[in-house]
């Protein structure tokens, strides 16, 4: 299993709403993530909106994203979540993940 870490930036004025949306992620989105190899998926957010995401997947971030791109629910979710992020207008948040290099791991 490959461990993946990534970063994005949530807009300061949308942080509370972003957190609320993630208390009720659409069931079909959760199922699509599971089916496309996103395991142990966790999001952490600093008080300035810097978001750190972590998940485990059989192959890579690129393969996991490619699987999600094939699902209709992901297109809807990305459009729904775009206004929450500091990204160019019209961009999909999942296309702008800044992947982090793993430098240490302790089991």
Is 38 within 8 Å of 55 (Cβ atoms)?
Answer: yes
Q: Which residues are catalytic?
A: 22
Q: At what angle do helices 27-35 and 61-69 cross, to 10 degrees?
A: 130
- Rounded Cα distance between 3 and 23, Å, is 24
| Residues ≥6 apart with Cβ < 8 Å to 52 | 5, 6, 7, 43, 44, 45, 46
């Amino acid at each position: 299993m490959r461990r993946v870490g990534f970063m994005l930036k949530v807009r300061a004025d949308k942080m509370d709403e972003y957190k609320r949306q993630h208390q009720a992620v659409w069931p079909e989105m959760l199922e699509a993530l599971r089916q496309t190899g996103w395991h142990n998926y966790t999001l952490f957010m600093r008080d300035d909106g810097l978001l750190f995401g972590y998940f485990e997947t059989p192959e890579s971030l690129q393969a996991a994203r490619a699987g999600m791109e094939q699902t209709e629910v992901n297109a809807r979710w990305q459009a729904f979540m775009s206004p929450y992020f500091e990204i160019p207008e019209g961009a999909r948040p999942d296309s702008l993940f800044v992947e982090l290099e793993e430098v240490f791991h302790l089991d």
